[in-house]
Structure 1
Amino acid sequence: MIPHVLPTYNRAPLAFERGEGAWAITAEGTRYLDLGAGIAVNVLGHANPDLVAALTEQAGRIWHVSNLYQIPEQERLADLLVEHTFADTVFFTNSGTEAAELAIKMVRKHWDHAGDPDRIEILTFGGAFHGRSTGAIAAAGSEKMTKGFGPLMPGFRTLPFGDHEALKAAVTDRTAAIMVEPIQGEGGIRPLPDACLQGLRDLCDRTGALLVLDEVQCGMGRTGRLFAHEYAGIAPDIMMVAKGIGGGFPLGAVLATEVAAAGMVAGTHGSTYGGNPLACAVGARVMQIVADPAFLAEVNRKAALFRQRLEGLVDAHPEIFEGVRGQGLMLGLKCHVAPVDLVRAAYDQHLLTVPAADDTLRLLPPLNITDDEIAEAVARLDRVAAGLAG
């Protein structure tokens, strides 16, 4: 018989009753050091007191009114995002997938509004992940996600990751947009070099195409900057954000310039729950904490410490690990063994990690993980590797 919960996940035999910072705790009291953070979501850890206070205060006032009315909490968060980014305007969603859908619609509407409705092709890259809706899987194009779900939404062309010649040949004055993750998460913690991001910006400027960045996983301080593209010194036209922005509360957003969003007038898009007072109250508190330069400096310091210790781990277990990838606290261990084997072995060490493509183990801890917790995480990974090698 089919389970009451649709079996689309191969779930681990673990259930957590509560959490404290970087620790997830079972009903029996067993503590697991969480290097997954809900897949880069819990940027401030479990049950963060600042976020609990923001949510509790808002919950005692008003939960939901819909976007038929002005929502002060939404406007406050939008102000913070515009203040700290390239954006002129923000639309709030409940997830990264919804953000991807709006980004696609915004690109198409931009060109329709500009009088060129046939300019619809969006270029994407192999290994990408933009969500699991029909539009998002068409954008990514991988057989793993698209098989059995055809016909797919037309208007996407997926290019090989890192193939500059294919990109040059594909981009024309008919290209509507280029959509890319500055660091591929599901694809194996594969950063796009700064020079490549700068090259994409130049290509878009020359052809008029829009540059759409998917910072759902790599944004919100995860790399040591508020958003990963800042390292390259460029700005997108449209950006998708989710995961960390809500610190564990469902929240996403699409940020855009006024020009890119010009076609999105009243009636062109909507959301019943998107930008509700609860989510935006939490999101505003996350932004106030994570956008602080002192907080981001600490992320970078901890990231350097974590990476140094992981490099030592790789040196100690060359038969298990090939190298360390990523930026900030979005790190990956390239493996010589199946990452899922490491994930399962780590359960015995009461450690939570996340597998990814390209034989990579993702390490996505809360951004406020402590130095002692970093040391403990590497010690547990060392025992996992030693056990597999044995």
Structure 2
Amino acid sequence: MSLFSLRRLAPHEPELDLAAARGCRLHQGWRPEQVFVRGQGSWLWDDSGRAYLDFAQGAGVNSLGHSPALLVEALQAQAAALINPGAHYEHHGQLALLQQLCAATGSARGYLAGSGSEACEAAVLLARQWGAQHRRGAYRIISAQGGCHGHGLGARSSTARLAYGPGLEGFAQVPFNDLEALHAAVCADTVAIMLEPVQGEAGVIPASEAYLQGVAELCRSLGILLILDEVGTGLGRCGTLLAEQRYGVRADILTLGKGLGGGVGVAAVLARERASGLHLAEYRGSHHGNPLACAAGSAVLQAVLRPAFLAQVADHGRHLREGLARLALRYGLQAPRGLGLLWALPVAGAAEVAAAALEEGLLLDAPQPDVLRFTPALTASRGNIDDMLARLGRALARR
């Protein structure tokens, strides 16, 4: 399909004084000058009409690419029927999505939130409730250095060891992929170990198979919970529905987010058998599990579960890895690392390379100063991957 055939007219937008409008924004650090107005699949167009190949996709949020037809249709139909009845009332879409998620992941119960951060906070609340019921009030949660479990207070505490007050203390961190250090950190007050199978914000650092399997065995032998944060790795990103399937482990509590809504804000915390009797009566949000978000989540989940979809993600992931490995060899870089369609290429001055790639019409993410991250749409084609590699090669040559 040609780029011309992908291009669509943007909806009419009022004239905008960009300088004045940007003056209304709270400072968030440097932003590129491009203003994007439309997207389709792996492509974005700015307000000047230039096309960009997007291999960031909002750090993997747009799991099916920009404005996929099935998602647009689901949102349009839901918006015409019901947008938000209020957090105190159930609706069909909420119950349907929870049932679909539980069936697909082998979970017993779940709760829908608005972001991965909130899902991780909910997981912490569930674990501590379980500790109060089954571990004589144990509340301490061990996580790994470099992990990022969101930006809410509770989730941030598990990441950065911050203490914002009663109920948010009791987090400890140990080096990632170090089973001995993790074991040594467990004490009588430990209720759970909370990990990402692949640390995305740290630079796409996968857990080793021996490590994650060892953690799961440790949790079983000590009678504590295993929480897997799959906000960035779940819903097909690693070539399987959940990254835990790649490792042959099973979490007691898991969290989903990012790609679950295909760009719409929805997340989930799911409890397996050991944690299925818990509740979240005091954890609510005005937009948690609203009909629009649930329609998006259901549409994405159904797409990912289609026959051969995950096999194609795995196949295209291998193609991406091989292409990145060739570039690494050509430019004297370290080997790429990752799983499925979640990859990193270690390169000094990653932000500068990403800026050079932007000039080549390629959008990339640099979560660390020495790491480029690749989170393309799960629907990206081999042609998209080859195009990206060519553009990245030109950007690397300009260093």
Shorter-chain TM range is: over 0.9
Q: How does 1:122-271 map to 2 (within 5 A)?
A: 122-141=141-160, 153-264=168-279, 267-271=281-285
Picking from 265, 284, 288, the partner of 2:298 is: 284
In the alignment, what sits opposite 1:52? Answer: 72
| Map 1:379-390 → 2, pairs under 5 A | 379-388=390-399
Equivalence map 1:46-125=2 (5 Å): 46-114=66-134, 116-117=136-137, 119-125=138-144
**Partner in structure 2 of residue 301 of structure 1:** 315
Secondary structure of residue in 1 paired with 2:275: coil
In structure 2, C-alpha distance between the alignment counterparts of 1:208 and 1:37, rounded to whole Å: 39
CA–CA distance in structure 2, aligned partners of residues 286 and 93 of structure 1: 16
Distance in 1 separating the partners of 2:106 and 2:189: 25
Number of the residue aligned with 1:348: 359
Unaligned runs of 5+ in 2: 1-19
Structure 1 gaps, min length 5: none
SS where residue 274 of structure 2 aligns? coil
Amino acid at match of 1:316: R
TM-score where L is the length of structure 1:
0.93
8 Å Cα contact 1:122-1:175 kept in structure 2: yes
Whichever residue aligns with residue 30 of structure 1, its letter is R
Q: Following the alignment from structure 2 to structure 1, what is the Cα–Cα distance between the partners of residues 195 and 379?
A: 27
The CA distance in 1 between the partners of 2:164 and 2:27, in whole Å, is 21
Contact 1:130 1:140 in 2 (8 A): yes
In structure 1, the residue matched to 2:11 is none
Q: Deviations over 1:235-290 (max 9, x none)?
A: 1011111000000011111011243142316x332222111111111110100111
Contact (CA 8 Å) 2:351, 2:369: kept in 1 or not?
no
Residues 177-199 of structure 1: CA distance to partner in whole angstroms, max 9, x if unpaired? 00000000001100001221111
Report the CA distance between 1:341 and its aligned residue.
1.1
State how far apart, in whole Å, the 2-side matches of 1:9 and 1:206 are.
46
In structure 2, which of residues 351, 376, 380 is the aligned counterpart of residue 369 of structure 1?
A: 380
- CA separation in 2, counterparts of 1:150 and 1:296? 41
Deviation at 1:115, TM superposition (A): 6.4
Listed one character per residue, the Cα deviations across residues 309-365 of structure 1 (whole Å, up to 9, x for unaligned) are 1111111111xx212000010010011x12111111111101101112372110000
1:232 Cα offset (Å): 1.6
- SS of the aligned residue for 2:334 comes to strand
> Following the alignment from structure 1 to structure 2, what is the Cα–Cα distance between the partners of residues 66 and 207?
41
Residue 239 of structure 2 aligns to which amino acid in structure 1? G
Report the CA distance between 1:305 and its aligned residue: 1.1
Residue by residue, what CA displacement relative to the aligned partner does 1:198-241 show, whole Å, maximum 9, x if unpaired?
11111111111110011111111001001101112211011111
Other structure's SS at 2:96 match: helix
Q: Give, in whole Å, the separation in 2 of the partners of 1:376 and 1:238.
A: 39
- One-letter code aligned to 1:360: V
Letter in 2 for 1:369: A
Counterpart of 1:339 in structure 2 is 350
Deviations 1:45-83 (A, max 9, x none): 101001000000111101001232221111111111111
Structure 1 position 112, deviation (Å): 1.7
* Partner Cα distance (2:339, 2:90) in 1: 38
Once the two structures are overlaid, the 10-residue window that deviates more, 160-169 or 108-117, is 108-117
Distance (Å, rounded) in 2 between the aligned partners of 1:85 and 1:9: 38
- The match for 1:357 is 368
Counterpart of 1:281, as a letter, is A
Letter in 1 for 2:295: A
Q: Amino acid of the residue matched to residue 144 of structure 2?
A: F
Partner of 1:30: 50
Give, in whole Å, the separation in 2 of the partners of 1:9 and 1:210. Answer: 38
Alpha-carbon separation, structure 2, partners of 1:208 and 1:184:
25
Tell me, yes or no, if the aligned pair for 1:110 and 1:261 is still in contact at 8 Å: no
List per-residue Cα deviations over 1:7-32 (Å, max 9, x = no partner): 13432222100001000111111001
Identify which of 9, 22, 31 aligns with 1:11: 31
Distance 2:62 2:26 in 1: 25
Change (3 A) 1:364 1:115: closer
CA shift in 2, pair 1:293/1:181, >3 Å: farther
CA contact (8 A) 1:24 1:31 kept: yes
TM-score (norm 2): 0.91
**Secondary structure in 1 matching 2:111:** strand
Query: What SS does structure 1 have at the residue aligned with 2:81?
Result: coil
SS in 2 for 1:347: helix
Q: Tell me the alpha carbon deviations over residues 109-161 of structure 1, each in whole angstroms, 9 at most, x when there is no partner.
A: 111233622x111001111111112222211127xxx6xx8679310001012
Secondary structure of residue in 1 paired with 2:194: strand
**What is the aligned residue count?**
378
- The separation in 2 between residues aligned to 1:386 and 1:261, in whole angstroms, is 54
Matched residues in 2 for 1:46 and 1:250: separation? 14
Distance 1:261 1:58 in 2: 30
